[in-house]
Amino acid sequence: MAARNLTPKLSRREVLGLGAIGAAGVAIAMTGCSAEAGDSGGAGNVLKSGLEIGPVADVPVGGGRNFEVEGTKLVVTQPTEGELLAFSAICTHEGCVVGCRDKEIRCDCHSAVFSMTDGEPISGPADGALQNYPVIVTDGVIYTA
Ligand code: FES
């Protein structure tokens, strides 16, 4: 599914459930903050709010799935039902694309393993955490926050 920009349709306030969208059906999973611009989902990349990432139903509970939003590669995990977390899918070791399996985020290039709950490195050569992206879920769809 191609990600698309909802910014023209929804203001940040609406996406955050503070405006026209009620609190019911809205869950917020703030996972951290981003810093500086980039274009591949690597460290410091910024995504504006309101970008559709994909349906919650595509992210298995206890697992994750990769998405790409405006050229930024993300791995979205759901450690427990309703807890949606998004991280850069770019390995902090040498930049390969990571993916979630066996309840961890893994890089097949040199076997780095990251936590699916906070992006911190668990084992392997990577010594930096995967960048966290704040997300929001509205009506079963994950958006950047
Ligand atoms: S690039 Fe991921 S472990 Fe080396």
Position 76 in a domain? yes
Position 126 in a domain? yes
Position 33 in a domain? no
> Residue 66 in contact with residue 74, Cβ under 8 Å?
yes
- Global confidence as pTM: 0.74
Position 11 in a domain? no
Task: Please give the mean pLDDT across all residues of the chain.
Answer: 80
Rounded Cα–Cα distance for residues 24 and 31 (Å)? 21
User: Can you give the pLDDT at residue 3?
Assistant: 52
Position 78 in a domain? yes
Q: Where residue 71 sits, what CATH number does that domain have?
A: 2.102.10.10
Tens digit of each residue's pLDDT (9 = 90 or more) over 6-43: 333 433 433 333 333 333 333 333 333 223 333 455 65
Does the beta carbon of 130 sit less than 6 angstroms from any atom of ligand 1? Answer: no
Domain of residue 139 covers 52-144
Ligand 1 centre to CA of 90 (Å) is: 9
The residue nearest atom 3 of ligand 1, judged by CA position, is 110
What tokens does 33 get? 């903050």
Position 44 in a domain? no
Q: Indicate the top mutation candidate among 73, 97, 110, 114 to test ligand 1's pocket, ranked by most ligand atoms within 8 A of CB.
A: 110
Position 112 in a domain? yes
